[in-house]
Amino acid sequence: MKLREIAHSRTGDKGNISNISLIVYNMDDYELMKDQITALKVKEWFQNIAKGEVIRYELPSLGALNFVLTNALGGGVTRSLSLDRHGKSLSSFLLEMDLKS
Amino acid sequence: MKKIRIGGGAGYSGDRIEPAIEIMKKGDLDYIIFECLAERTIALAQQQKLADPDKGFNELLEYRMEKVLPICTEKKIKVITNMGAANPVSAARLVKDIAIRLGITNLKIAAVLGDDIFSDIDDYNDFNTLEYGNKLSEIKGEIISANVYLGAEGIQQALQNGADIVITGRVTDPSLVIGPLLYEFEWEIDDYDILGKATLAGHLLECGAQVTGGYFADPGYKDVPDLWNVGFPIGEVYENGDIIITKLAGTGGKVTTGTVKEQILYEIHDPSNYMTPDVNADFSQVSVKEIEPDKVLITGATGREKSGYYKTSIGYKDCYIVEGEISYGGSGALEKAILAGEIVEKRIQYTGLSIQELKVDYIGVNSLFKIHIPDLHGYNDVRLRVAGRTTLKEDGIQMGNEVEALYTNGPAGGGGVRINVNEIVSIASILIPAENIKTKINYEEV
C-alpha cells in the first residue's frame, strides 16, 4: 500500500528549507503512519534532493507529521536551477512511499 | 462575544480579483487583506524604484484598487495590504489619486514605513547570514535591498488613527490580520497567548484559496468542486481567539478539516515555535472541527514571548541562470535527449565555459504528437532542459547557444529550442535587534 492511500500532504518552502506535512485522512491511521514514516526513512527517500538533516515533528491532535528537510531546495527559490524551484511537488513524491498495513 | 470577519483577498502578488470582490460584496466583512509580497518580490520592486522613484509597488495595485475602493467605501470594509512593496508612500499616493478619480471622499490611507533599512545596511556588515553563516560583508554580489519583516504594531497604530486603507511594505504575512485584531479587541501587545491565536488566524488567511480547497485537489483522493471558481476564505475571529474559517455559498472549493490542516502546517518548521516579530506562536496543540459544511472551527493555538529580533531580507545581485530546452519525440526520444545533454556538457568543458552548477532534466508526456495520454507508453515525448549558473552573462549566453546548436549538430529530430538567460537577485537574511527599528506612518486623505 502506498502512503497516498491513507494520507495527504503539502509542501512549503522557506529559503533552502522545505517542509512537507503528512496528514492522515482517518485519525485511526495516525499511529501506523507515525510508526513507519520516520525521519530516517524520509531522509533516505529524498536522498538525492535533501542534502541536509531531516527533522520530524508530531502533531497528534491534527493526525499529522511535519517533516523539515534542510538544504533541500538547491539553494532556495531565488537561486535554484530546478524546474520546480519551490519544491512544491515534493509532497507528491513523499506519498509514493510504501506502507505495511 | 464580539467577532470580526476578515477576508483573504489575495494569496500572492498576481492573484485573482473576482473572488475578492465576491467576498467583499456578500461576505459581511469588516476587513479584507491582500497578501502580495513574496520573499524576493521586494528586492525586485526595489530595483524598479531605483529606476523610477515613483514606482516599486505591486503592479496590480491600480487595477485592484479601482475595483475595491467603491465597494469598501459602500460596505465600510477596511483594506490591509502589503502591496506597497518597496514604495508604500507612492502606493498610498496612487490610491488617493484613484479615490479622487472615482469621486470617493472621506478616505484615509496609511503607508506603514520603517521596514526599509537599505541606507543603514553598512551597520550590519558584521552580522552573520542565516543561510550561509558567514558575515554579511562577505556576500559577493552587490546589495540592492534590505527590508525588515515588521510586525503588526504599525498596522494597529494606523487603524487607531482612523485609517481606512493600510498599505505596508515588508511585514510578516500574519501581521496583516494581527493588526486589525489588536485594534478591534484592544488586546495587549504582550498578551502572547492571544497573539499566538491571532497569528494562526493570519496564517490561515494569508494564502487566499489555499485554505478553501485551492491547491488541495487530487482527483480521486481529494476531489474539490468547481475549482475554477474557488471562493476566497472568510475568517471569523472571536475575542477569545477562536477562529472559524468559511467561504461563500455558491462559490467553488471547500473548507474542511483537511484543507485547514494543510494550511496550518504550510511553511511551518517547528509547530511549537513559529517565530514572528509579534510572538513565538505555538500551533502544536491546535484542534480543528467541522461545525457545518464549509465551516471549520480552529482552537488551541498559544504563544510565548517574542525573540526581540527582526528577520531582515537582503537582496543582492547573485549570478545569472541560463535555461536551454529542446524536444525529442518518438521511439528513442529519451536516448536522443540523453545524448543531447551529454553533448552540451562536453561542449561546456571543451569551450571552457565557466558554469558553477549544471542541471540536466528530461521532461515530457505529450507535447509533440497530441496522443491521448492513456495510449502513451515509454518515452514518446522528451524535452531536454539544461540549466546552468554563471557569474558572467556572456557565459550564460554561450551556454544557451550550445543548446541551440543542437539544431544542426545534435541528435535527429530536435525541435522547439528556447533559451533564457536571467540575472538572479538572491536573498540572504540577518536578525537585527528590534530596538534598531522605528516604524513610521504617512497618511493621505481625501
How do residues B73-96 score in pLDDT, each as one tens digit? 999 999 999 999 999 999 999 999
Instruction: Return mean pLDDT, chain A.
Output: 95
The chain B residue lying nearest A12, using CA atoms, is B267
Which of A17, A1, A19, B84 shows the shortest CA–CA distance to A9? A19
Residue with cell 484613484: B98
Is the pLDDT reported for residue B380 higher than 90?
Answer: no
Is the pLDDT reported for residue A11 higher than 70?
Answer: yes
* Candidates B131, B319, B387; nearest CB to A15: B131
Q: By CB neighbour count within 10 A (0-12 exposed, 13-18 middle, 19+ buried), where does B142 fall?
A: exposed
Q: What is the DSSP letter of B434?
A: G
- Among A79-93, B40-54, B109-123, B191-205, the range scoring the smallest mean pLDDT is B40-54
User: Distance, in angstroms, between B428 CA and closest chain A CA?
Assistant: 9
Is the pLDDT reported for residue B376 higher than 80?
Answer: no
How do residues B278-316 score in pLDDT, each as one tens digit? 999 999 999 999 999 999 999 999 999 999 999 999 999
ipTM above 0.95, yes or no: yes
Is the pLDDT reported for residue B330 higher than 90?
Answer: no
Average pLDDT rounded to a whole number, residues B145-158: 97
How do residues B213-245 score in pLDDT, each as one tens digit? 999 999 999 999 999 999 999 999 999 999 999
Is the pLDDT reported for residue B367 higher than 90?
Answer: no
Residue B305 sits at the chain A interface (C-beta within 8 Å): no
User: How much is the pLDDT for A75?
Assistant: 86
User: How much is the pLDDT for B378?
Assistant: 63
pTM: 0.95
* Candidates B258, B265, B426; nearest CB to A78: B426
* Candidates B131, B262, B288; nearest CB to A21: B262
Helices (H), ranges, B276-368 = 333-351
In this prediction, residue B371 has a pLDDT band, given cuts at 50, 70 and 90, of: low
User: Distance, in angstroms, between B425 CA and closest chain A CA?
Assistant: 7
The chain A residue lying nearest B216, using CA atoms, is A10
Which residues lie across from B429 on neighbouring strands?
B313
Residues in Cβ contact with B351 at an 8 Å cutoff, skipping those fewer than 6 apart: B398, B402
User: How much is the pLDDT for B39?
Assistant: 81
Residues in Cβ contact with B336 at an 8 Å cutoff, skipping those fewer than 6 apart: B328, B382, B411, B412, B413, B414
User: How much is the pLDDT for B390?
Assistant: 97
The chain A residue lying nearest B357, using CA atoms, is A81
Q: Which long-range contacts (CB under 8 A, 24 or more apart) does A81-89 make?
A: A81/B321, A81/B357, A81/B358, A81/B359, A81/B387, A81/B388, A81/B389, A82/B359, A82/B387, A83/B361, A83/B363, A83/B385, A86/A11, A86/A13, A87/A11, A87/A13, A87/A18, A87/A49, A88/A11, A88/A13, A89/A11
Q: Alpha-carbon torsion A54, A56, A62, A63, what sign?
A: positive
- Among A54-58, A86-90, B379-383, B419-423, the range scoring the smallest mean pLDDT is B379-383
User: How much is the pLDDT for B318?
Assistant: 94
The CA distance from B277 to B182, in Å, is 14
Q: What nine digits make up the cell of B295?
A: 465551516
User: Distance, in angstroms, between B119 CA and closest chain A CA?
Assistant: 23
